[in-house]
């Protein structure tokens, strides 16, 4: 029986929005647990949908598990110095108090940028490695959108990433990490490590593993593991994070350097060869709404409008009004927009009560320049307390606290309003305020890809629309300051000059 320390820190940083992610946000209970310590880690993370949940399922009965700290700041602006230093110090300090340990497993994201460190996870791992010394194995699991750096690879003995986007395999990833760590405990630390950075960025809308070429690439990575190869991980990257090593990666840990290099080179060449296949159609908001209304006239199932640039899972504010305004302008009926975050509107609806009307300026309070609230008289159709246990396949079993919620209706369009940001990837969020998703003509979802797991199977067609929002789909529009020179800003796109683009 080994003594294994476990913990986790999640943040997916959008470097190009003005807001900052502070310690209070990490500590709050939203669509994921609050910051938890010691035994609370096991209470909150057992039997739910995180990497650590799967790791505990696989290892808790066979080993002595030492829980340290787990927290998630979700997706948002750059992490403040205060938040990072408090979390990192507590994690390393709690580990130091529990030593000696035989191994460490961390459930991380892999795309955290802080006010001081462009590679937040790499700095955290550097500190952990300094505390542990070179001979205690560290295994981590990462999100599919991780921007993997040389420091992350150098400080770890195993690195496994999600196979899926939408992320329906978080727990499976934790179990895979447990398998890797079990092998290391039996055989010792691997001698080979390889990292290959792919020479182009992939916008999130083109990363879904439900379609090609991502599906095929992930399958290739899975086949390449086994024997002396601990892990072959393909991670697609998170373009809105400004760091030198932003973008897709192939990572291999193996028991020889030659084998690690061979597997990494083989998969990297496969990805580069299919660069053009990542491109998919996108619509401006006027065209997308018009097309959705036309399809909905004869469809027997909902048409989905993915409001991808206001996806809070990519740092969007979840309160922009571009799609809502266009649906109303074009006279859409039986259309539902969600999840729009406006605590003031939710509070006004609760004060008024169900069946009454309120005159409010909805949303548009935190979005980018040019985004305005939608002013009008809304009917308060139904209210909710925001206390929901998720049932969707991407976040199964989470106890969520989204604050006061309301369904507000104006004309033929309804809006699901929450008090805390939440991506629209669980049907239960809509049912909480009386909306049955399968019975709508149009579902306008603030999500990029995660919605596809539970909503695409019930839909007639999916249209991705580009209304204004904090998650800009086109990487050429980001003012990168740290991105390495030469990487293409999208499939077949212009090249970065290390902060600017050229059409070379």
How confident is the model over 230-262, as pLDDT tens digits?
Answer: 999 999 999 999 999 999 999 999 999 999 999
Q: At residue 317, does pLDDT exceed 80? A: yes
Which two structure tokens, joined as six digits, stand for 101?
A: 């340990």
Q: Give the residue-averaged pLDDT of 16-34.
A: 96
What is the rounded (10 degree) CA torsion for 370, 376, 381, 387? 30
Query: Does residue 500 surpass a pLDDT of 90?
Result: no
- Tokens read off for 404: 């006061």
Report pLDDT digits (tens) over 125-175. Answer: 999 999 999 999 999 999 999 999 999 999 999 999 999 999 999 999 999
Residues paired with 463 in a beta bridge:
305
CB proximity list for 462: less than 8 A, separation 6 or greater: 303, 304, 306, 452, 456
CB neighbour list of residue 294: distance below 8 Å, 6 or more residues apart: none
Mean of the pLDDT values across residues 16-25?
96
pLDDT reported for residue 499: 62
Q: Which residues contact 468 (CB under 8 A, 6 or more apart)?
A: 309, 310, 320, 322, 367, 368, 370, 371
Strands (E) in 32-175, as ranges, are 36-37, 64-76, 103-108, 138-142, 158-161
Position 36 scores a pLDDT of 98
Is it the case that residue 501 has pLDDT exceeding 60?
A: no
Residue 353 has pLDDT above 80, yes or no: yes
Mean pLDDT of 487-499: 93
CA atoms within 13 A on the CB side of 200: 23
Q: What is the 3-state secondary structure (H, E, C) of 347-396?
A: HHHHHHCCCCEEEEEECCCCCCCCCCCEEEEEEEEEEECCEEECCCCCCC
β-pair type (192-197, 249-254): antiparallel
- Can you list the pairs that 255-258 forms with residues at least 24 positions away whose Cβ atoms lie under 8 Å? 255/187, 255/190, 255/191, 255/192, 255/228, 255/229, 255/230, 256/191, 256/192, 256/228, 257/191, 257/192, 257/193, 257/194, 258/192
pLDDT surpassing 90 at residue 367? no
Give the pair of three-digit tokens for residue 135.
């001979």
Higher pLDDT: 328 or 368? It is 328
Average pLDDT, the chain: 96
List phi, psi (to 5°) of 35: -65, 125
Encode pLDDT of 265-313 as tens digits: 999 999 999 999 998 889 999 999 999 999 999 999 999 999 999 999 9
Q: Is the pLDDT of residue 502 over 50?
A: no
Domain residue ranges of the chain, discontinuous segments joined by +: 3-278, 283-466
What SS3 class is residue 1? coil
Structure tokens at 268: 């990297």
Using one digit for the tens of pLDDT, what is the confidence trace for 376-399?
999 999 999 999 999 889 888 899
pLDDT value at residue 382: 98
Give SS3 for 36.
Answer: strand
Asked if residue 503 has pLDDT above 90, the reply is no
Average the pLDDT over 31-38 and give the result: 96
pLDDT at 227 over 50: yes
Residues of the chain with pLDDT > 70, as a percent, come to 99
pLDDT of residue 504: 37
Residue 395's pLDDT is 86
Binning pLDDT at 50, 70 and 90, where does residue 474 land? very high
**Predicted pLDDT at 241:** 97
Average pLDDT over residues 203-221: 97
The domain 3-278: what is its CATH number? 3.40.50.2300
Rounded distance between C-alpha atoms, residue 249 and residue 246, angstroms: 9
- Count CB atoms within 10 A of the CB of residue 78: 27
């Amino acid at each position: 029986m080994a003594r294994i320390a476990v913990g986790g820190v999640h943040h997916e940083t959008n470097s190009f929005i003005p807001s900052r992610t502070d310690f209070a946000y990490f500590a709050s209970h939203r669509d994921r647990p609050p910051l938890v310590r010691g035994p609370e880690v096991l209470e909150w993370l057992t039997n739910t949908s995180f990497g650590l949940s799967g790791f505990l399922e696989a290892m808790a009965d066979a080993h002595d598990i030492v829980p340290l700290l787990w927290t998630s700041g979700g997706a948002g602006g750059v992490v403040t110095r205060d938040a990072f230093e408090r979390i990192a110090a507590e994690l390393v300090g709690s580990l130091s108090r529990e030593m000696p340990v035989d191994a460490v497993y961390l459930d991380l994201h892999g795309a955290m940028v802080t006010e001081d460190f462009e590679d937040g996870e790499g700095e955290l791992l550097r500190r952990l490695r300094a505390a542990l010394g070179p001979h205690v194995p560290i295994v981590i699991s990462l999100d599919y959108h991780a921007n993997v750096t040389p420091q992350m690879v150098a400080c770890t003995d195993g690195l496994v990433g999600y196979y899926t986007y939408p992320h329906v395999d978080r727990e499976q990833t934790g179990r895979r990490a447990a398998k890797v760590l079990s092998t290391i405990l039996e055989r010792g630390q691997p001698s080979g490590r390889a990292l290959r950075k792919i020479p182009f960025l992939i916008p999130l809308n083109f990363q879904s593993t439900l379609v090609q070429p991502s599906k095929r690439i992930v399958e290739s990575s899975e086949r390449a593991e086994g024997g002396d190869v601990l892990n072959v991980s393909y991670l697609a990257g998170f373009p809105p994070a400004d760091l030198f090593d932003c973008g897709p990666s192939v990572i291999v840990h193996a028991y020889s350097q030659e084998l690690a290099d061979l597997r990494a080179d083989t998969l990297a060449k496969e990805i580069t060869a299919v660069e053009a296949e990542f491109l998919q159609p996108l619509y401006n908001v006027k065209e997308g709404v018009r097309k959705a209304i036309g399809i909905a006239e004869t469809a027997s199932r909902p048409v989905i409008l993915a409001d991808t640039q206001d996806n809070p899972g990519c740092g969007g504010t979840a309160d922009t009004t571009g799609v809502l305004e266009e649906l109303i302008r074009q006279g859409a009926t039986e259309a539902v927009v969600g999840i729009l975050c406006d605590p003031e509107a939710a509070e006004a609806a609760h004060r008024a009560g169900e069946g009454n009307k309120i005159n409010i300026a909805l949303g548009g309070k935190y979005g980018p320049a040019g985004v305005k609230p939608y002013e009008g008289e809304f009917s308060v159709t139904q209210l909710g307390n925001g206390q929901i246990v998720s049932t969707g396949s991407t976040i199964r079993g989470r106890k969520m606290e989204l604050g006061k919620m309301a369904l507000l209706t104006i004309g033929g369009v309804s809006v699901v309003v929450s008090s805390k940001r939440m991506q629209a990837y669980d049907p239960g969020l809509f049912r909480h305020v009386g909306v049955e998703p399968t019975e709508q003509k149009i579902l306008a979802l603030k999500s990029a890809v995660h919605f596809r797991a539970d909503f695409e199977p019930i839909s007639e067609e999916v249209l991705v629309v580009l209304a204004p929002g904090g998650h800009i789909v086109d990487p050429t529009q980001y003012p990168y300051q740290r991105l390495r020179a030469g990487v293409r800003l999208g499939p077949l796109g212009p090249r970065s000059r290390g902060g600017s683009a050229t059409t070379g």
